[in-house]
Chain A
Amino acid sequence: MSVIVFTLIVLVGSYFAGLLGSLTGLGGGVVIIPLLTLLLHVDIHYAIGAALISVIATSSGSAAAYVKEGITNIRIGMFLEIATTAGAFTGAILAIYVSVKFIAVLFGTILIFSAIMSLREKKEHITGAKSFLSRRLRLDSSYPVEGEMVEYGVTNIAGGFFMMLFAGIISGLLGIGSGALKVLAMDGIMRIPFKVSTTTSNFMIGVTAAASAVVYLQRGYVHPVIAMPVVVGVLFGAVSGSKILVHTKSSGWLRWVFAIVVTVLAVQVIYNGLTGKL
Chain B
Amino acid sequence: MDKEHKHKRFKDTDMQIVIGWLLRIGVYVSIAVVIIGGIFFLYRHGRTVADYRSFKGIPGFVQNLGDIMHNVVLFRGQAIIQFGIILLLATPILRVIFSAIGFMLEKDYLYIFISLLVLLIIIASALSGSAG
A-side residues, CB < 8 A to B, are 1-7, 40-43, 45-46, 53, 56-57, 59-61, 63-65, 67-68, 70, 72, 74-75, 78-79, 81-82, 85-86, 88-89, 92-93, 96, 137-138, 206-207, 209-220, 222-229, 231-232, 235
Expressed in whole angstroms, the Cα–Cα distance for A74 and B86 within the complex equals: 24
B74 to chain A, nearest CB (A): 15
Query: A2-B48, A206-B91, A217-B129 are known contacts. Are A60 and B27 too (CB-CB below 8 A)?
Result: yes
- Complex contact A78–B55 (CB within 8 A): no
Q: Encode contact with A along B98-122: 1 for CB under 8 Å, 0 otherwise.
A: 0100000000101100110110011
A-chain residues with CB within 8 Å of residue B125 when the two chains form the complex = 85, 88-89, 92, 211-212, 214-215
- Complex contact B55–A64 (CB within 8 A): no
Among A3, A63, A70, A82, which residue has its beta carbon within 8 angstroms of that of B117?
A82
Among A60, A63, A210, A228, which residue has its beta carbon within 8 angstroms of that of B81?
A228
Interface residues on B, range: 35 or more
Known pairs A1-B50, A68-B17, A228-B37; list 4 more (Cβ under 8 Å). Answer: A56-B88, A210-B89, A223-B58, A227-B34
A-chain residues with CB within 8 Å of residue B121 when the two chains form the complex = 82, 85-86, 89, 211
Among A6, A78, A215, which residue has its beta carbon within 8 angstroms of that of B114?
A78
Expressed in whole angstroms, the Cα–Cα distance for A72 and B121 within the complex equals: 23
- Complex contact B20–A64 (CB within 8 A): yes
Closest 3 CB pairs of A and B: A220-B57, A206-B92, A6-B50
- Complex contact A225–B50 (CB within 8 A): yes
- Complex contact A235–B31 (CB within 8 A): yes
Q: Encode contact with A along B32-69: 1 for CB under 8 Å, 0 otherwise.
A: 00110110011001111110111101100011000000
- Complex contact A227–B85 (CB within 8 A): yes
14 A-B pairs in the complex with CB atoms less than 8 angstroms apart = A1-B50, A2-B48, A41-B52, A56-B92, A64-B19, A65-B20, A68-B17, A78-B111, A209-B92, A210-B89, A211-B125, A215-B128, A225-B52, A228-B81
B71 to chain A, nearest CB (A): 11
- Complex contact A213–B38 (CB within 8 A): no
For chain B, what secondary structure do more than half of its interface residues adopt (helix, strand, loop), or is it mixed?
helix
Q: Which residue of B lies closest to A56 (CB)?
A: B88
Expressed in whole angstroms, the Cα–Cα distance for A226 and B63 within the complex equals: 15
A36 to chain B, nearest CB (A): 8
A-chain residues with CB within 8 Å of residue B93 when the two chains form the complex = 207, 210
- Complex contact A60–B42 (CB within 8 A): no
A218 to chain B, nearest CB (A): 4
Among B63, B85, B128, which residue has its beta carbon within 8 angstroms of that of A89?
B128
Whether a CB of chain A sits under 8 angstroms from the CB of B1 is no
Expressed in whole angstroms, the Cα–Cα distance for A214 and B90 within the complex equals: 9
- Complex contact A231–B88 (CB within 8 A): yes
- Complex contact B46–A3 (CB within 8 A): yes
A-chain residues with CB within 8 Å of residue B126 when the two chains form the complex = 214-215, 218
B90 to chain A, nearest CB (A): 8
Expressed in whole angstroms, the Cα–Cα distance for A4 and B92 within the complex equals: 31
Expressed in whole angstroms, the Cα–Cα distance for A191 and B121 within the complex equals: 27
B1-47: which have CB < 8 Å to A? 12-13, 15-17, 19-21, 23-24, 26-27, 30-31, 34-35, 37-38, 41-42, 45-47
